[in-house]
Amino acid sequence: MNIILGKRINRRFALRGLTCAIGLPLLDGMTPARAGVSVKKAPTRVAFVYVPNGVIMPKWTPIGEGPAFELSPTLSPLVGFKNDITVVGGLRQRLGEEMADGPGDHARAAGNYLTCARPLRSASRAEVGISVDQRLVESLGAQTRLASLELTCDSGQVAGECDSGYNCAYQAALSWRSARVPQPAEVSPRMVFDRIFSDGRRSLAAERKRWRARRSILDFAMEDTKRLWPTLSRADQSKMDEYLSSVRAIEQQIVRSENNPAPNRPTGLQVPSAHPHDYSEHIELMAELIVLAFRVDATRIVSWQWGREAGGRTFPEQGGYEGHHGLSHHQNDPEKIAILARIDEFHVQCLARMLEKLRNASEGDGNLLDSSMITFGSGLSDGNRHRHHDLPTLVAGRGNGTIASGRHLVAPKDTPMSNLWLSLMHGMGATDKSFGDSTGPLLSLKTV
């Protein structure tokens, strides 16, 4: 059959079509009017990007330290962004390591990536810690209509047990609202689009009426929970507390929407597909959406999982016919290592395209990349041996001048990953003294 060949030829059409369709026009005049507030400075934004199963470290690590570093083969697609990125070496996630819990490194690596806490070893329920993105929402208060966005390009739900007796939530979610409440991530670009933009079919008056109706429903939900309360056991009440906290979160979102309604869909912007054809298009669309969301200030905080930890996605174009996780246990087979390195490089190419979009989006005197902090990395360094130290990490963007970029920054050996997260929190304006297992901010991020 010619299906494979046929697809390949057609994809060129697809990508060309997309770039035209949603990459442009840049939404001039779409900066939201915030009545009475004069915008002095572009807001700082942060996005945490996650790739699973580690990377081929020898091909990832740049040669040399400081500003004079040389891009590694895997990072070579970032050649046009060398001055915009900071490659951070030497970071460790100690709480993801084996300790006395035995196997389950993939669950722990994903579960503790943004939480920097110890995932509870239990199949029935998940418990780890609040993640850095949600901690930011708590510390800064919701500054935008959407307090944060959680995205994923992995819809995979596979029957059977998850990693080594750990609850599936650790691999499914990056973002944790609290220690026990993982936040599901949005997989459909269409739905993300609909959260950012209003479809413009309703007048503002009609929209306000809808919000009032919604509030009335949520009031009922709140009262009804109280009526139910006395009949519940403590554990049930704890479940209902998750529910009530969600009710409150939506109510707050309605208040923010009333003050700052979602912008209408700009004309000329094509609604993205709910089901992208393939992985690279999925990433492309989500990247576009993040840029749009930043651009219209719908949110400033994003977590984005490209694939589930221990996921078995195949990468035929990179020669990865075997699933990614299977490949990552390469056992030093040079052929598998070469394929994995190509997959890593492909991921970095996707990242480069996202950075390109951010840089092309001008804002004031600068562009979105200047004001953003896009982190990219994995919770494992060597996937073959499940290493949780010397993690592959880079931060793109200057965070409104909070990052001295264009360097290969090698942190002291075994610096907690949470130190980097804490620094980024400070970059966002939070004043927290610590996060997770942090020992202090990564000061060298700001100063050369």
Partner 1 sequence: MALRCCTVFGGIFVACRATQNPVEPLSFTSADQASPVSAFVTHELTFSETTFLKQYCSDCHAGGKHKGSFSIDGLLLQPRELRHTETWQAIAAQIASGDMPPEDKPLPSNTERQALANWVNTNIVTTMCSVSEPGRVVARRLNRSEYTNTITDLLGTPFDLGHALPTDNAAHGFDNIAASLTMSPLLLERYVDTAAMALDAVVFDPERGKRAKTSLQADMTDMNQFVRQAGNGGVLLSHAPAGQISMGVSQPFATRFRVSVLVRSYHDGLKRKRLRDKNSGKHDPFVIGPALLSFNVDGIVSQTRLVRNKTNQRYTVDLSVPAGPHRIQIGAIKPEQVAPTVPRTIPSDILVSNMAIDGPLDIPTEPTETHRRVFFTEATNERDVVAAETIVKAFARRAFRQPVDDATGAALLSVVTRAWDDGANFVQGVQLGLQAVLVSPRFLFRTDLVREESPDATFASLTPHALASRLSYFLWSTMPDDELIQQADDGTLTENLDTQIDRMLADPRTRALTQNFGGQWLQFKNMEEVAPTTFVFKSFQPEMRGDFRHETELFFDHIMRTDQSVMDFLVGDYTFVNERLAKHYGIQGIAGPEFRKVSLVGLPRRGVLTHASTLTITSRSTRTSPAMRGKWVLDTLLGTPPPPPPPAVPDLEGDDHMELRKIRTTLRSRLEKHRDNPVCASCHARFDPIGFALEPFDGVGAYRETDASLPIDAKGELNTDESFNGPFELIQVLASTKKSLFIRTFATKLFTYAMGREPRSADKCIIDAIVARAQEDNLRFSSFVKGIVKSAPFLNSSRQTEPQLAADDEVSP
Q: Which C-beta is closer to partner 1: that of 68 or that of 191?
A: 191
Chain positions 113 to 142 lying near partner 1, rule: CB under 8 A, are 123-126
Out of 83, 238, 259, 362, the only residue in the binding site for partner 1 (CB under 8 A) is: 238
Which regions of 132-200 does DSSP assign to beta strands (E)?
149-152, 176-178, 181-182
Residue 336, amino acid: K
The residue ranges of DSSP E strands in 191-349, in sequence order, are 301-305
The answer to whether 10 contacts partner 1 (rule: CB under 8 A) is: yes
Residue 396 has phi, psi (to 5 degrees) of -105, 145
How many of the other CB atoms lie within 10 Å of CB of 240? Answer: 15
Residue 255 is a binding residue for partner 1 (CB under 8 A): no
Residue 162 found at the interface with partner 1 (CB under 8 A): yes
Shortest Å, Cβ 235 to partner 1: 4
Closer residue to partner 1 in complex, CB, 240/404: 240
Query: In the complex with partner 1, which residue's Cβ is closer, 154 or 437?
Result: 154
Secondary structure class of 21 (helix, strand, coil): helix
Region 42-81 residues binding partner 1, contact defined as CB under 8 A: none
**Member of 30, 221, 269, 338 binding partner 1 (CB under 8 A):** 221
Residue 370 is a binding residue for partner 1 (CB under 8 A): no
Residues in region 268-287 near partner 1 by CB under 8 A = 270-275, 277-278
Minimum CB distance to partner 1 smaller for 18 or for 348: 18
> What number of chain residues touch partner 1 (CB under 8 A)?
117
Closer of 69 and 166 to partner 1 (Cβ): 166
- Strands 366-367 and 362-363, by their bridges, are antiparallel
What is the residue whose two structure tokens read 């819990």?
Answer: 101
Pairing of strands 301-305, 393-396: unpaired
Q: Residue 443 in 3-state DSSP?
A: helix
Residue (of 40, 50, 41, 43) closest to 421 by Cα position: 50
Q: How many CA atoms lie within 13 A of 188 on its CB side?
A: 8
Task: Give the count of alpha carbons within 13 A of 314, CB side only.
Answer: 5
Q: CB of residue 433 vs partner 1: minimum separation in angstroms?
A: 23
Site string for partner 1, 298-317 (x = CB under 8 A): --------------x-x-x-
Q: Which of residues 169-208 bind partner 1 (CB under 8 A)?
A: 169, 172-173, 177, 180-188, 190-191
Rounded distance, CA 207 to CA 360, Å? 33
Query: Is position 338 an interface residue for partner 1 (rule: CB under 8 A)?
Result: no
Closer residue to partner 1 (CB): 155 or 259: 155
Q: How far is the CB of 72 from partner 1 (least distance, A)?
A: 22
Beta bridge partners of 305: 50, 152
Angstrom distance (rounded) from CA 112 to CA 108? 6
142-161 binders of partner 1 (CB under 8 A): 150, 155-161
Contacts of the segment 207-213: beta carbons below 8 A, 24+ positions apart: 207/261, 208/258, 211/254, 211/257, 211/258
Q: How far is the CB of 318 from partner 1 (least distance, A)?
A: 13
Nearer to partner 1, 184 or 364 (CB): 184
